Structure 1
Amino acid sequence: MVVPGWLKFAFGKSVRLAALLAAVSIITFVLISFSPVDPVRAYIGADMMTVGAEQRLDIAVYWGLDQPPLERFLKWVSSMIQGDFGSSMIYREPVAGVIAERFWYSLSLMAAAWLLSGLIGFAAGSAAAMNRGGWLDRVIQWVCYTIASTPSFWIGMLLLMVFAVWLGWLPAGLGVPAGVAAEQVTIADRIRHMVLPAAALSIAGISAVALHTRQKLIDILDSDFVLYARAKGERGWQLYRNHGLRNIALPAMTLQLASFSELFGGAVLAEQVFTYPGLGHATVEAGLRGDVPLLMGLVLFSTLFVFTGNTAADVLYRLVDPRIRGHENDSRNV
């Protein structure tokens, strides 16, 4: 019996995802259990001195923190399988609702940064390769190497200082204007508050795409078929359009799709710098304040998000590049 390639691929990915989620859940819970943060103390906050021992015990019992770690973990797994991720100790809301609300902020931020970094990096890498050895190529390489060696949070602080503090062109933080009712917030307000964190996040991802695209295009320009095209009189944009663009677009797209993990990690820092109310900011708050249910839910969701991005890259590569499908068919025939 011959198993279809897509079914084998889907089954393999499903098994890997299940194993990954199980491993991430166990490791995260173990790390939380050994964390020096006391969830009860973090929950009480500044009123710690006025809360007695009996009240602290009541709080621990209410949130299940008085139970052994293994029992708490098994109870959490049982609830999660039933679709209940628990309630957040910080927001006093269901974890699923907090994640759903914050997800759209992070999704819009990462989508804008993903698009900007891909387009700018692709254009910069193409321009550098087409002007190899020239001043433009040297400038683009210097900028890319500088960006690659600069921490993303420092880039965010620099943008914040210049465009929000010195020039006052853009808001310094938050996702919407402070003190404005939700129904009065416009799309333009949300975009203005997203500009700086999206710029900081996209700048960090430009260098990888630009340098990869540059090297890939240089390899193509040095190939025999491009040499033949030059002999026929093709130059500049015509040469790039006919022979370079279609050969570097797929690797650049694959690199962008595979960069979800770095994008999500960068979003955590960008959201923290700009106090942007996304998943990254919620993750930092949950970790610092010992919100175990929220932190577990966020870790699982981010793992699923990154895995989905990597899977999308694999699927796209198989759909566009027939050589991979041919290689898989040959392997099955053998």
Structure 2
Amino acid sequence: MEIIKQDSTFLTIRLRGLLFFLIRKGLGLILLLIAVSAISFMLVHFSPTDPIQAYVGADMMRVSAEQREAIVQYWGLNDPPLMRYWHWLSALASGDLGTSMIYRRPVLEVISERFASSLALMGAAWLLSGLIGFVSGVLAAMNRNTWIDKLVRWYCYTLSSTPTFWVGLLFMLVFAVWLGLLPVGLAVPAGITSDQVQWTDRVRHLLLPTLTLSVTGIAAIALHTREKLIDVKDKDYWLFARARGERGFTIFWRHGLRNVALPALTLQFASFSELFGGAVLAEQVFSYPGLGQAAIEAGLRGDIPLLMGVVLFSTIFVYSGNAMADISYRLIDPRMKGGRQS
């Protein structure tokens, strides 16, 4: 009974600590969103882009002064910046992100539609880069100073200094133009209706952007895993295991996996910001209709409601990645399970 009571008390403390952690993260997210939205709103306000010209487009010369004034009044562009920000913030509190000036549709609807496409791209690239990077780092550390280690390091150093858009253009030139194996761009084949699009068509159009994001995201996780495993191999317990005759995968599984998996997992979750930034460039290169392409169009054409919505959504996306990294540490690492209690 005493053991059951101690386990129940320990579980209660863990749940309470996790609850306080989530509350603290939630309050931090709210404050971050307010700060990011305020700074973004002021930057957009002082931008040299004329929102009326961006809204009208090529028909700007045909718009009369009365029509221009009507557009200004409709969007509230004559109001002071603080008043416009307050109105936007009040509408946001009720779940209304406004209407996109480009697409003439609710911002939330545009973001939901575009994020569905970006999620497939970023999710596939995130998994591939994490798995390949972790395995490459382990192989390089277990075969230190051999040709495998030198090859992995050369690949990582080269890709770390290579822009994402350049890699995308290179892959497009090789696989789409020269070899003709994959389509040049877009998310679906051009010239057919949505009901005629098959899932194989979507996968083929997804391969090049995913490959671009994956190969550029491998470097960080591979180099980090390699350094961590090299440090582990210098520890006394690793040397003692080698003295007992453990070699290869066995010694790594027993004494190295957990020590390098947690830092790699944290780094992978923390890479959400780089993943989102790379997705913006990849979508622009391949004309992939995702959230990144919508953000670029909104910035170039002065679509303030859509741009603010994308900024908030990207902030939540990156913050969620960091929060999930912290939560995974608390759930996996036994030292952090009882750290608060002690």
> What's the CA shift string for 1:73-103, capped at 9, x where partnerless?
1111111111111110111110000000011
In the alignment, structure 1 residue 59 sits paired with structure 2 residue 71 = yes
Deviation at 1:62, TM superposition (A): 2.0
In the alignment, structure 1 residue 240 sits paired with structure 2 residue 222 = no
Selected match of 2:162 from 141, 144, 150: 150
Deviation at 1:189, TM superposition (A): 0.8
In the alignment, structure 1 residue 272 sits paired with structure 2 residue 289 = no
Partner of 2:107: 95
Selected match of 2:228 from 216, 223, 239: 216
Selected match of 2:215 from 178, 203, 211: 203
- Secondary structure of the residue that 2:283 maps to in structure 1? helix
In the alignment, structure 1 residue 135 sits paired with structure 2 residue 166 = no
Deviation at 1:210, TM superposition (A): 0.3
In the alignment, structure 1 residue 23 sits paired with structure 2 residue 41 = no
Partner of 2:117: 105
List alignment gaps of at least 5 residues for structure 1: none
Deviation at 1:15, TM superposition (A): 1.5
- Secondary structure of the residue that 1:105 maps to in structure 2? helix
Partner of 2:133: 121
> What's the CA shift string for 1:282-305, capped at 9, x where partnerless?
000000000000011111111111
- Secondary structure of the residue that 1:328 maps to in structure 2? coil
Partner of 2:273: 261
Distance 2:259 2:22 in 1: 28
Deviation at 1:44, TM superposition (A): 1.2
Partner of 1:225: 237
Deviation at 1:221, TM superposition (A): 1.6
Selected match of 1:310 from 316, 322, 326: 322
Distance 2:259 2:339 in 1: 20
In the alignment, structure 1 residue 13 sits paired with structure 2 residue 20 = no
Distance 1:141 1:109 in 2: 26
Selected match of 2:261 from 243, 249, 253: 249
Partner of 1:76: 88
Task: Using structure 2 for the length normalisation, give the TM-score.
Answer: 0.93
Distance 1:186 1:254 in 2: 36
- Bigger mean CA offset, 26-35 vs 221-230: 221-230
CA RMSD, Structure 1 to Structure 2 (Å): 1.4
Distance 2:146 2:336 in 1: 37
Residues 289-304 of structure 1 aligned to structure 2 (within 5 Å)? 289-304=301-316
Distance 2:76 2:171 in 1: 43
- Secondary structure of the residue that 1:329 maps to in structure 2? coil
In the alignment, structure 1 residue 168 sits paired with structure 2 residue 183 = no
Task: Using structure 1 for the length normalisation, give the TM-score.
Answer: 0.95
In the alignment, structure 1 residue 188 sits paired with structure 2 residue 180 = no
> What's the CA shift string for 1:22-77, capped at 9, x where partnerless?
00110000000000111110111111222222222222222222322222111111
Structure 1 residue identity aligned to 2:272: F
Distance 2:134 2:180 in 1: 31
- Bigger mean CA offset, 269-278 vs 63-72: 63-72
Could you list the structure 1 runs, at least 4 aligned residues long, displaced by more than 3 angstroms after superposition. Answer: none
- Secondary structure of the residue that 2:173 maps to in structure 1? helix
> What's the CA shift string for 1:181-240, capped at 9, x where partnerless?
111111111111111111111111100000011111111122111111111212222222
Deviation at 1:171, TM superposition (A): 1.1
Deviation at 1:11, TM superposition (A): 2.0
Deviation at 1:322, TM superposition (A): 2.0
Structure 2 residue identity aligned to 1:304: I
Distance 2:123 2:19 in 1: 30
Structure 2 residue identity aligned to 1:305: F
Indicate the percent of aligned positions where both proteins have the same amino acid.
61
- Secondary structure of the residue that 1:138 maps to in structure 2? helix
